[in-house]
Chain A
Amino acid sequence: MLELRGLRKSFGESEAVKGVDLKVREGEFFSLLGPSGCGKTTILRMLGGFEKPSAGEIILEGRRIDQLPPHERQFNTVFQRYALFPHLSVFENVAFGLRMRGIKGAEVETRSLEALNLVQMAEHRGRSTNTLSGGQQQRVALARALVNRPKVLLLDEPLSALDEKLRGQMKGELLSLQRKLKMTFIFVTHDQEEALTLSDRVAVMNQGIVEQVGTPQEIYEYPRSIFVANFIGASNTIFGDVSQNSENEIQVSQTSKKNFHIRPSRDGLRPLPIVQNGARVKIMIRPEKMKILKSHPSNDQNFVEGTIEEILYRGPHTQFHIAPKDGLGSGTSNLSVMQANSAITAKKPFALGEKVFVAWLSEDCVLMGDEGALPLPEEIQLQKTAS
């Protein structure tokens, strides 16, 4: 439905967006996620028509729109700080877009009220916008953007100005609104949790390029670059060399005695990549997928021996920092392990300085090359057919 082709944008010397290709499906909640300065807002501004691309095309339903002025695009934007008109009432803010399109009379009223009803703000229609709370302003901004019935709604970090609790509430409302309207939402955020909970698909961006596009699960469970693995959630990294390589299992060794095994995940999300024997690799494991044991696990399991250096109680779970006895193959970082708090963990609590074993399943590892992601079998196949 909406397609970005080779989109680029430079500001003077610096290039903010360095060639982005994306396809957004109709009715999809699509997020652009990345750290500040990654180019996500620039893309949104190009979509909205506030910046002209330096190169590339934006195509909406087969029609090129990147040179059109904002009001000819059937896109509307919810701005980061809402940008509500302070001199107009709630109702007039929402009606603004209709009036500017030459709609008059009773239709202005019915459509504005309809939009205000969508966000449960109809009863506040006479109020001045600066007497509203943050969440209410957010809702008015949404209604104002929706009143023109855009094909795509652009949202520029709309939740960042809200406090924690309101943000959670607004997340739910945003999601139910999108499901109800079946409208395409493009949502820019730097908050990985927002992106994961809300989106149908996420594009993770870094330094002007898209690192990975996928469902929240794909992004989290199988990051395809070191940046994605580290930006979304935390990861423990263990270094080693590939020592055995079969269809169902890859063995990575640190020393002749210390071996780790990697298997494809059972849900099929994470197949084994193609890698040569002897290649230097990184094994990445999420903290919540590791387990701390008091007794020595059997030698065919993946495990590391270490000492508990820090225990951080965090409510739903406890975070442990564990210094590995033999190091992790490179660097000096500690392992981070999360354990859900329950009666089971409370029964045998761990103590600072305690010698423990950290174990994990071979299906829970992500294998990464030394320089970046490793190719997947299907990708190799694609390349072959292409050439």
Chain B
Amino acid sequence: MNQEVESEKKLPPSYSLPGLFWILLFLVAPLLIVVFCSFLKRAPTGGLIYEFTIENYLRALDPIFLTILFESFQLALLTAFSCLLLGYPVAYVLATLKKPWRTVMMILLVIPFWTNLVVRTFAIRQMIGDQGPINHFLLDMGWVDEPIHFLNSFGAVYVGMVMNYLPFMVLPLYVTLEKFDFTLFEAARDLGASSLNIIRRVLLPLTKPGMITGFIFVFTPALGEFLIPDLLGGSKTMLIGNLISHQFLKVRDWPFGSALSLLLMVVVIVSLVIVQRTWKNGPRSSLG
């Protein structure tokens, strides 16, 4: 058996060259430029002065910016956990549905991707705006006297983020759950496990890879998100993503923007390492 698998067509390494070239050209090279840039000085007009400095990094560690980073981190974490809590039952139901229904629900889940993120976020804006259907409903029912200002708040950004990232959590979870062998439930019940124990000792440990993947898929982009906070958070919400995009697009301070970007990258990498470490060797009693 094993030999068969090993002797199965192995592609020559050269086949990976086009992809490798692509990554080098459009990921590694720009990254190096950013690193290079972060050690330069900004010209008063917004250009670059080719002189070495670590000033940008020192500035990035200013408490104001660290607070922004910390708040962004919190929001990303909150988004990822909310998506996990909301997405797990959805993925579970999807994976256990019968064939035709499963396909229908799957399509429903993916449909939002056919619409542009900006359009979707604007739709949320309309929905929760002062003149939106929700406020209309509340006013008509006489529950409130004047519209509630949902928009331009942390809550609005949070709703938008969860809304947007939920499918990124559901899909990897679905993939893991679809492969899940549900006779393990019967085996556990046969051996006397309660429903809670079945979830805790069988389902969750075995679907952990899907949870980790989903978490990374949501947490990483959520940490750098700037469009949703821009559209739903107004001027009150400044996240690290907004801050960086400001440096490049408005303030034209490329070196500082580069330094902030690299700082964000370090935070992401460290978080992911922690996630991998702690979740992979989660509590598991082993004897013998």
User: Which A residues form the contact surface with B (CB < 8 A)?
Assistant: 48-50, 69-71, 75-77, 79, 81, 83-89, 91-92, 95-97, 100-101, 108-109, 113, 125-126, 144-145, 148
Contacts and interface: CB of A to CB of B under 8 A. Distances in A.
A79 B183 contact: yes
B interface secondary structure, majority: helix
A97 B194 CA distance: 11
A144 B183 contact: no
Contacts of B190: 48-50, 70-71, 75-77, 145
A92 B286 contact: yes
B191 A92 contact: no
A84 B287 CA distance: 17
Contacts of A85: 184, 187-188, 202, 206
A93 to B, nearest CB: 9
Residue picked from A71, A100, A101, A113, most chain B C-beta under 10 Å: A100
B285 interface: yes
Contacts of B284: 87-88
Contact of B288 (A100, A126, A148): A126
Contacts of B193: 71, 96, 100
24 contacts: A49-B189, A70-B192, A71-B191, A71-B193, A76-B190, A77-B187, A79-B183, A79-B187, A83-B187, A85-B187, A87-B205, A89-B288, A96-B193, A97-B191, A97-B192, A100-B188, A100-B191, A100-B192, A100-B193, A100-B197, A108-B287, A109-B287, A109-B288, A113-B288
B186 interface: yes
Given A91-B287, A126-B288, A83 B184 contact: yes
A81 B288 CA distance: 25
Given A83-B181, A85-B202, A87-B205, A148 B191 contact: yes
Contacts of A88: 284, 286
A35 B188 CA distance: 28
Contacts of A113: 288
A75 to B, nearest CB: 8
Contacts of B205: 87
- Closest 3 A/B residue pairs (Cβ): A97-B191, A71-B192, A83-B187
Nearest to A124: B288
A83 B180 CA distance: 11
A250 to B, nearest CB: 51
B206 A96 contact: no
B75 to A, nearest CB: 32
A94 B234 CA distance: 58
A86 B203 CA distance: 11
A101 B188 CA distance: 11
A370 B48 CA distance: 102
Contact of A101 (B192, B206, B286, B287): B192
A92 B285 contact: yes
Contacts of A77: 186-187, 190
A297 to B, nearest CB: 54
B192 A92 contact: no
Nearest to B185: A83
Nearest to B202: A85
Contacts of A69: 189
A153 to B, nearest CB: 11
A81 B206 CA distance: 17
A156 to B, nearest CB: 10
Nearest to B287: A91
A109 B192 CA distance: 18
Contact of A95 (B187, B189, B206, B287): B287
Given A69-B189, A79-B183, A89-B288, 11 more contacts: A48-B186, A48-B190, A77-B186, A77-B187, A81-B183, A87-B205, A89-B286, A109-B288, A126-B286, A144-B191, A148-B192
Contacts of B181: 81, 83
Interface in B5-48: none
Contacts of A87: 205-206, 284
Contacts of B187: 77, 79, 83-85, 144
B100 to A, nearest CB: 17
Nearest to A71: B192
A96 B188 contact: yes
Contact of B191 (A76, A81, A108, A126): A76
A88 B201 CA distance: 10
Contacts of B202: 85
